[in-house]
């Protein structure tokens, strides 16, 4: 397949990925004497900090996405190709893509990050994630599908797992997502599902470390924790999640929660592309670079943004994987590339930390600036303004602002849509099939309805049980936490160096939830 990029005497700069770093670099090279070729698997730029609002129905997907070609309209030296990059061949100055090979004179890797499951394949298969717009839409569909299913359940032990949601990871994404879900429980879901008792819906935020929002001040960490508790979120600290299967989350050395939805926001690592030498890739799959983002061991390959691992005195483990770092590195590289081509010494990168912030919910946020720290309503306004201004395109800014204003005054989110039903996949890759039709059951007050056939008597631990009485192992009263079975085998959390995961473009891979939790028995078809 021909790539059809014009041949020119100008040096060709190939950029992999149109995140914050790749986008800013390509724009800042518009006046440089180079040919810019941008390659991305999507034809849009995605504003990842607001993905959780798409997943919870607060914003539509096109509010945080913008067409790449429209961004660069009028930039004469720019070319875009939509493709997956599968390998780098530095010995011949080419990258291998799903549409063919592309030659480069200078290569810039800005492929971003992928979800880090720390080597736990079971969680990778069963948990949801929000690293892309398709995965956010899948999560939105799953949440509301579960509530639709909950309406059909007559038993508490069947209904509660469909309503409960577990968020893993106490970083900004986990905190913001948990707060949004708590507000949905209070303001939105009771209107849509008046038949359900929302007091039975529980939202859990589980963090392996001792604090939330690692990297922010202690004051902000404590404020965020108090905000979440006031909103009814169950926060568990120093409690690493060990496994998630059959609707059971095991964490904290023996505790369990029955929930059909677990959202993994516990960490990321570099979205590395095969082909670079081993010494160029760090333990967390980020690419080792020097102080002007040149990849170690290569003269014409650079890495910027989340994928770049620049170890300095102030950041011995590399810079934080946040948008300001990516943007500042891209701006400096746009200045340094012409200098390098001219044989001049490039400038070294020095990160200017302008502050960090996180929102928890309505009128609740925390902001850490270099000079001072604050929280509450004013911090919430600052958070909204900064994110609004960072969005690409006037339309996106306007639509997002109007949506936020509507949500604030109406106490509502209008995008509770199941546009495309989400079907979980089993481990063999096959989609779950819907349950077989159930025989019609007699309804109270309608004797003409045929009665359901008498179900077979189930057994638990080889002991016969009556169909009308629950098993002693089945507790109809919802516990806060249940102890794990004695013979349960927990998958221990492995080191990030052993993680072998890749980001899914279309959706997060999830396992089957047709099976029941330990110590419960399956309700036979037709049982009222």
Catalytic residues: 176
Q: Is 66 helix (H, G, I), strand (E, B) or coil?
A: strand
* DSSP calls for 337-359: HHHHHTTPPPPPP------EEEE
Among residues 207, 227, 267, the alpha carbon closest in space to that of 380 is found at: 227
Task: Judge contact between 77 and 35, C-beta under 8 A.
Answer: yes
| Side-chain-facing half-sphere of 257: CA atoms under 13 Å | 28
Task: Judge contact between 23 and 45, C-beta under 8 A.
Answer: yes
Task: Judge contact between 54 and 140, C-beta under 8 A.
Answer: yes
CB contact set of 303 (below 8 Å; sequence gap of 6+) = 108, 109, 110, 286, 287, 289, 293, 295, 309
Spatial separation of the C-alpha atoms in residues 445 and 451, rounded to whole Å = 13
**Strand pairing category for 287-288 and 308-309:** parallel
Spatial separation of the C-alpha atoms in residues 117 and 501, rounded to whole Å = 7
Q: Is 299 helix (H, G, I), strand (E, B) or coil?
A: coil
Task: Judge contact between 410 and 416, C-beta under 8 A.
Answer: no
Overall residue count recorded for the chain in this entry: 528
Spatial separation of the C-alpha atoms in residues 13 and 11, rounded to whole Å = 6
Task: Judge contact between 294 and 301, C-beta under 8 A.
Answer: yes
**Strand pairing category for 94-97 and 100-103:** antiparallel
Spatial separation of the C-alpha atoms in residues 225 and 227, rounded to whole Å = 5
Among residues 223, 217, 247, the alpha carbon closest in space to that of 235 is found at: 223
């Amino acid at each position: 397949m021909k790539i059809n990029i014009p041949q020119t005497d100008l040096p060709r700069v190939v950029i992999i990925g149109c995140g914050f770093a790749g986008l800013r670099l390509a724009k800042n090279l518009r006046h440089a004497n180079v040919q810019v070729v941008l390659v991305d698997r999507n034809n849009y730029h995605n504003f990842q900090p607001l993905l959780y609002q798409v997943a919870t129905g607060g914003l539509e997907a096109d509010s945080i996405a913008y067409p790449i070609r429209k961004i660069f309209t009028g930039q004469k030296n720019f070319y875009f190709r939509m493709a997956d990059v599968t390998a780098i061949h530095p010995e011949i100055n080419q990258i291998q893509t799903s549409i063919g090979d592309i030659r480069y004179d200078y290569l810039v890797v800005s492929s971003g990050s992928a979800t880090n499951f720390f080597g736990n394949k079971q969680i990778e298969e069963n948990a949801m994630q929000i690293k892309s717009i398709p995965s956010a839409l899948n999560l939105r569909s799953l949440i509301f599908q579960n509530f639709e299913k909950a309406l059909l359940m007559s038993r508490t032990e069947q209904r509660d797992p469909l309503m409960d949601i577990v968020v893993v990871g106490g970083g900004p994404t986990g905190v913001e997502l948990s707060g949004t879900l708590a507000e949905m429980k209070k303001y939105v879901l009771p209107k849509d599902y008046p038949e359900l008792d929302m007091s039975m819906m529980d939202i859990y935020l589980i963090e392996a470390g001792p604090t939330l929002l690692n990297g922010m001040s202690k004051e902000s960490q404590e404020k965020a924790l108090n905000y979440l508790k006031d909103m009814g979120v169950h926060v568990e600290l120093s409690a690493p999640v060990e496994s998630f299967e059959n609707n059971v989350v095991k964490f904290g050395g023996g505790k369990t929660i029955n929930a059909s939805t677990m959202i993994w926001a516990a960490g990321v690592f570099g979205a590395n592309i095969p082909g670079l030498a081993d010494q160029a890739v760090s333990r967390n799959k980020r690419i080792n670079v020097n102080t002007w983002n040149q990849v170690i061991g290569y003269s014409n390959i650079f890495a910027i943004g989340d994928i770049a691992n620049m170890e300095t005195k102030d950041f011995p483990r590399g810079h934080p994987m946040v948008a300001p770092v990516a943007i500042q590195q891209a701006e400096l590289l746009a200045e340094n590339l012409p200098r390098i081509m001219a044989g001049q010494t490039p400038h070294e990168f020095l990160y200017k930390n302008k502050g960090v912030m996180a929102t928890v919910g309505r009128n609740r946020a925390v902001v850490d600036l270099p000079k001072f720290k604050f929280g509450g309503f004013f911090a919430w306004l600052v958070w909204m303004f900064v994110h609004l201004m960072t969005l690409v395109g006037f339309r996106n800014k306007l639509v997002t602002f109007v949506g936020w204003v509507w949500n604030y005054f109406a106490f509502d989110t209008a995008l509770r849509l199941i546009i495309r039903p989400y079907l979980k996949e089993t481990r063999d890759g096959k989609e779950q099939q819907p349950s077989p039709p159930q025989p019609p059951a007699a309804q109270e007050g309608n004797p003409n309805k045929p009665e359901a056939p008498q179900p077979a008597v189930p057994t638990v631990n080889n002991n016969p049980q009556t169909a009308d009485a629950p098993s002693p192992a089945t507790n109809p009263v919802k516990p806060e936490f249940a102890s794990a079975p004695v013979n349960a085998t927990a998958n221990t959390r492995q080191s990030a160096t052993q993680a072998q995961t890749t980001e899914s473009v279309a959706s997060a891979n999830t396992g089957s939830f047709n099976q029941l939790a330990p110590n419960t028995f399956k309700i036979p078809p037709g049982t009222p």
